[in-house]
Homo-oligomer: A and B are copies of this chain.
Amino acid sequence: MDVQLPDNSPAVSVTQPDEAAAVLAVVRATGLFDAQEVAVVDELLTYCFEQGPERSGYNFLSCRAGDRLLGFACYGPTPMTQGAFDLYWIVAAPASGRRGVGSALLERVLTEARAHGGRLLRVETSSRAEYEAARKFYLGHSFALEATIRDFYSPGDDLLFYVLRMS
């Protein structure tokens, strides 16, 4: 007799083309992406589905419970490096039980990166107040704040590099 997982247990899988609209809905629901940034996610999804993850350099992962998309991540090997990976976005839908969703996505990103020779995972974020939860998430998941470029995004808004070194 097969054991059936309950339909609402979160599971991570490679994002499929028919999930693109749901990914963009999650992006918009966060309130953290302006129109230009939403357009970039949209473009990269299209590019990834057209070229494939390998050729495009962008890999999307979905975290779902049944038919509901709880969040997604986008990562890829950093061009011109041996074993550096960039985590471009890791996003949980508001009221999705964010922490579990982010952890599940990150775990899968690390598994995939390690399987492709990953040594470190880098994420760039902003020093603005609305990214405080993101920064806490990174620090709580073995990333360290390794570098800062002051006033990079705009005056008063620094660029922060968090790095997770895989051992």
Residues of A bordering B, CB below 8 Å: 36-37, 40, 78-84, 119-120, 122, 146-155, 161, 163
Main SS of chain A's interface residues? strand
Q: Which residues of B contact A82 (CB under 8 A)?
A: 153-154
| Cα-based distance from A97 to B29 in the complex (angstroms) | 55
Copy number of this protein in the oligomer? 2
Q: Which residues of B contact A153 (CB under 8 A)?
A: 80-82, 84
Contact of A147 among B78, B83, B155, B161 (CB under 8 A): B161
> Can you name 19 A-B residue pairings with CB atoms under 8 Å?
A36-B80, A37-B80, A40-B79, A40-B80, A78-B152, A81-B152, A82-B153, A83-B154, A84-B153, A119-B151, A119-B155, A120-B151, A120-B152, A122-B149, A122-B152, A146-B149, A146-B150, A147-B147, A147-B149
Q: Assess A154 versus B37: contact at CB under 8 Å? Given A147-B149, A149-B122.
A: no
A120 CB to closest chain B CB (Å) equals: 7
